[in-house]
Chains A and B, each alone.
Chain A
Amino acid sequence: MASRTPFYILVSLLFLAGTALTLHRHIAFDIPWFPGEQRQTWSIEAKVDFEADGNPVTARLAIPNTQPGFTQLNQQTASPGYGLSFVERESGTYAEWSIREANGDQSLYYKVDMLVDPFAIPDEQVVIPSAKPNVEKEPYATAAQMILDRAIERSSSNYTLARELIHEFNNQEQTAELLAQVKPKTAWISQLLQEAGVPARRIHALELEDGRRRQSLIEYIQVFDGEEYDIFNPETGEQGQAENMLLWQYHSGPVLEVIGATNAQVSYSMISQEQPFNIALNQKFADNEWLNFSLYTLPLEEQAIFKGILLIPVGVLIVVLMRILVGIKTSGTFMPVLIAMAFIQTSLLTGLIGFLLIVGVGLMIRSYLSYLNLLLVARISAVIIMVIGMIAIFSIIAYKFGLTEGMKITFFPMIILAWTIERMSILWEEEGAKQVMIQGGGSLLVAILAYMAMNLDWVRHLTFNFMGIQFILMGLTLVAGSYTGYRLLELKRFKPLTKLDKS
């Protein structure tokens, strides 16, 4: 006999690949083990207000992208009469509204849903701002240089320099006031950092808090150290990004530009929502190219189909186990799986009643067909037509009696039903009614078990979300295929032999 080693290697490879893929999906994409887990999303609405006076108006609002901690799900705008486009510029992504003529108070809305996602993958690389030399007038240049010198003295790295600069601005109040006459503190701090050779910029962030309205952006300083960066609060010198801090503008550009109008301002309101993870994932993966292998990239309808298809291996495995480990006889190897699939559509009780009705009546009519002595293909075809007729009649009867449940009978695969009837009928003629009961009952039992396994929420969840599970199922099937031990029913069948041994 050929060596079993390749077989065992194959099986262990399958198990390894399956486990690795599954773990990878769980860890890298944060897909939970159990269904029904919730994910937090933030809906943030920016409202741009300005006064127009009959001139053409262009309004540009910086909008956030997927960033560390948050994945952008979807965005929408409300701005009647305005032309809208999303433009990518060096200084970030903008929503650009335009109109030929506008009068009076105008309000434009932009809404974005952000998924709280520790595993978010930002759309673009962070661009380190390049240093721009800035010549300042006296006495501001000297005053600024003084603060910078103090800070450099008391610091050792990029981050500590930023912290010390903020402290110096807070400590040397008079100098700070003097400098504030020219430009705001945050602008000075980022400028001084740049002068000291530290890449830095002002960014605008939003503090997320459920149900807040009319919020505005807060300025922070983003300081780079090589590829890394950190965020500093310019008031307190506090380092780090809080979990509820969403960066709105982080490309050293303006937040809002309005051309052709006055009194422009933007305010923010936000709510937090809990969404089932799969809805969140659906949105996350909806337009993402990088995860091609995810079923979430398919349209919803195809996803639904795949949900069913990926369940079949589970049902098949149940059949394999029931036949090889237990030894239950079924009529037609995988007929129980198909019946179980139908049960999923119809619900168990309706399905069972429908199945028994069709097969029972079918057997009666088929027993007449066997008198006609037909060729096999013609006989099966006749049975198929008969099954369709029965399904139609039962549906109509059920509908007339107001039993809408009865309509679900149409979910049964007709060809399979026809073959079941044919096999049962031959079995009845050849082996008698008892064998029909045994095999029919066995088939139904396996079908119900397969249905129960396939109908478990977490089985559906696992098979749909973790492709690796398919590898594991394959491995299990192969292992079962080389099982040479006793079947459960054989333990009963061969029981007399053990008694003999003792006597």
Chain B
Amino acid sequence: MSEPAVKMNWLQTMRERYAHPGALSKIGVLGMNRRNVSYISRYNPRHLFPLVDDKLQTKELALEAGVKVPDLIGVISEQHAVKELSHILQRCSSGFCIKPAHGSGGKGIMVVTRQSEEGYRKSNGQFATISDLERHVSNILAGLFSLGGRADVAIIEDLIHFDDCFSGFSYEGVPDTRVIVFRGFPVMAMMRLSTADSNGKANLHQGAVGVGLDIGDGHALRAVQFDKPILLHPDTGLNMMTLKVPHWEEVLTLAVSCYEMSGLGYLGTDIVLDRFKGPMLLELNARPGLTIQIANGKGLLPRLRQIESLSHKKRMSVADRVAYAREHFTDHR
């Protein structure tokens, strides 16, 4: 092959693999640099970060603000308090989950669906003894799951009875809805479904499926796994496009009220649907990822700019902002 031909070939593969920056900015894709410079550092005051990085603080804040969160059963913050775990667990009748306050990406979360004479039944069907749970709590306290290995606090929460409408869409694990809230407006949403690839974790880069949701009514727009579009769930074979999140208005309202409560202008809210209690806030994220754009097949920038261009003087209520977003950020109509 001649020299120019090799070069042409190389150019062609490059063109196939890489998008032209102009094409991306035409769609309005938000890049990491712009997210950090123009949104996170501009709208998220640094001193508010600890509020969202610590799940315990987030929970207290949410309770104050009247935002629904899973019930707190107990907190263990000292090694000598680990012995009291069985006492604490008696307070809840059925299932619970133990998680580290500073954990990230779903690490260190142990879900117990039922406690009985035989022991504690974990979500994967195995039984654990009280000493297993105590060891897990010790690990959390030692910082095994927290960022940078800092000493941590273990939180024991009531179990989320997740809504049946998602059965078949998620393999183990809790499906959660991520809503990006920008200056109090829900701008983009996605549902994260765990798969066998992701080991039951809702972490997208570990193989969880991301489903883009329409802000208008919460129906599925597109599904991706490993950044590639898919149609059927890789484990259950269900058509992802049939997915529709119920109580959509409530989900958005919950997400939006997190803006008032946290003060963060560019916020990722993780919401779960409880069968009995409806949407509940799971955690907040001050540095939400960008994959939501791939799941939605859309760039964030046009929506962010639209919100930025809104007049500052006009203070809109939570319901107004939800209504505004539902009207403007939808594929319908």
Q: State the A residues within 8 Å of B (CB).
A: 1, 324, 327, 373-376, 379, 426, 430-432, 482-488, 490-498, 500-501
Contact = CB atoms under 8 A, between A and B. Distances in A.
A501 B139 CA distance: 47
A500 B17 contact: no
Contact of B24 (A482, A483, A497): A497
A376 B27 contact: no
B202 to A, nearest CB: 15
B18 A492 contact: yes
Given A491-B24, A494-B19, 6 more contacts: A376-B149, A430-B105, A485-B34, A491-B19, A494-B29, A497-B29
Interface in B213-251: 222, 224, 227-229
Interface of B: 17-21, 23-27, 29, 31-34, 37-38, 42, 105, 107, 138-139, 142-144, 148-151, 206, 222, 224, 227-229, 290, 293-294, 297-299
A485 B33 contact: yes
30 contacts: A373-B139, A375-B143, A376-B150, A430-B107, A483-B33, A483-B37, A484-B33, A484-B37, A485-B21, A485-B31, A486-B25, A487-B31, A490-B31, A490-B290, A491-B20, A491-B24, A492-B17, A494-B19, A494-B29, A496-B224, A496-B227, A496-B229, A496-B294, A496-B297, A497-B19, A497-B293, A497-B294, A497-B299, A498-B27, A500-B297
A494 B144 contact: no
Identify the 10 closest CB pairs spanning chains A and B, nearest first: A484-B34, A486-B31, A376-B149, A491-B18, A495-B19, A498-B23, A498-B19, A500-B297, A491-B19, A494-B29
Nearest to A429: B144
Given A495-B18, A496-B228, A373 B144 contact: yes
A494 B38 CA distance: 19
B27 A501 contact: yes
Nearest to A375: B142
B33 A486 contact: yes
Contacts of A324: 33
Contacts of B25: 486
Contacts of A376: 143, 148-151
A1 B265 CA distance: 14
Contacts of A327: 32
Contacts of A375: 142-143, 151
B139 A494 contact: no
Nearest to B38: A484
Contact of A487 (B33, B149, B298): B33
B31 A484 contact: yes
Contacts of A484: 31, 33-34, 37-38
A1 B38 CA distance: 9
Contacts of A483: 33, 37
Nearest to A370: B144
B19 A482 contact: no
B89 to A, nearest CB: 22
B215 to A, nearest CB: 18
A482 B17 contact: no
A373 B294 contact: no
Contacts of A431: 206
Nearest to B104: A430
A373 B149 CA distance: 11
Contacts of A500: 222, 229, 297
A494 B143 contact: no
Contacts of B138: 373
A491 B297 contact: no
A490 B227 CA distance: 12
A18 B159 CA distance: 62
A417 B143 CA distance: 22
A486 B43 CA distance: 20
A494 B37 contact: no
Contact of A426 (B24, B139, B149, B298): B149
Contacts of B224: 496
A376 B29 CA distance: 39
A494 B32 contact: no
B32 A490 contact: yes
A233 to B, nearest CB: 64
Given A498-B24, A500-B297, A501-B27, A482 B37 contact: yes
B200 to A, nearest CB: 14
A485 B149 CA distance: 33
A485 B151 CA distance: 37
B32 to A, nearest CB: 6
A324 B293 CA distance: 20
Contacts of B298: 497
Contacts of B294: 493-494, 496-497
Contacts of B149: 376, 379, 426
Nearest to A426: B149
Contacts of A374: 142
